[in-house]
Amino acid sequence: MNDDSSLSRAERNRQQLRSDILQAAFIEFAERGYHQTAISDIAKRLGIGHGTFYRHFTNKRDILEHVIDDIATKIIATLEAENAPDAVTSLEAYKEQCARIANRLSDVLTANPAIARLILLEATSIDADMTKRLMNLIDWGGQLVAAYMINGVKLGYFRKDLDCQSTGHAVVGMILVCALRFLSNPNPDEQQGLAIAIQRLLVDGIAIH
């Protein structure tokens, strides 16, 4: 018994169209950029009148917000889908965790490169509020990573003097660079190499001990 069953046919159509518009906007924004995309481009892509757009979203800005929110939600869900930080109890388990997360992110990215383009390249230049949202997302990522590290320190398989907050952010930076490089050169081998290098860096550093 799904939610849709309780909706009228009309309402289902409405939801569908709304979702189609979101999708079309997502594609257009990612392909041409937010500023280069006119509402009429979105409408044209769907073969609807551009007035119809305004029945579902109040604004160009409004739909961007929804598009970005959707992406953020998806990213957050992807990362939180993994076990909770305190589910990891050993360095070995942590390495596996890292690998799994790397794979998940890689899958998301591969399946939908536009996500990265939109959130990393486009959304940064809308206005202060949108920038703030992105910064918050990055911050959230840092906190999440930090939580794993705090757990690792507590359980003793990470350095006692590890600055978890800062290191968390650093890790996010490395993830960002993965996404950026993927955008400019979507080569699975490079992605793979980058992922491994990051995991090695994390665990072992680069120096000889």
Out of a second copy, DNA, none, what residue 150 binds, judged by CB under 5 to 8 A for its kind, is none
Contacts of 204 (CB under 8 A, 6+ apart): none
For residue 3, count CB atoms less than 10 angstroms from its CB and return exposed for 0-12, middle for 13-18, buried for 19 or more.
exposed
Distance from C-alpha of 47 to C-alpha of 167, rounded to nearest angstrom: 48
Binding site residues, a second copy, CB under 8 A = 33-36, 91, 120-122, 124-127, 131-132, 135, 138-139, 149, 152, 156-159, 162-163, 165-167, 169-170, 172-178, 180-181, 183-184, 190, 193-194, 196-198, 200-209
Task: State the DSSP code for 47.
Answer: T
- For DNA, what does the binding mask look like between residues 134 and 173, x meaning CB under 7 A? ----------------------------------------
Out of a second copy, DNA, none, what residue 111 binds, judged by CB under 5 to 8 A for its kind, is none
- Site of tokens 């959707």: 70
Task: State the DSSP code for 121.
Answer: I
Interface residues with DNA (CB under 7 A)? 9-10, 13-14, 17, 36-40, 47-52, 54-56, 58-61
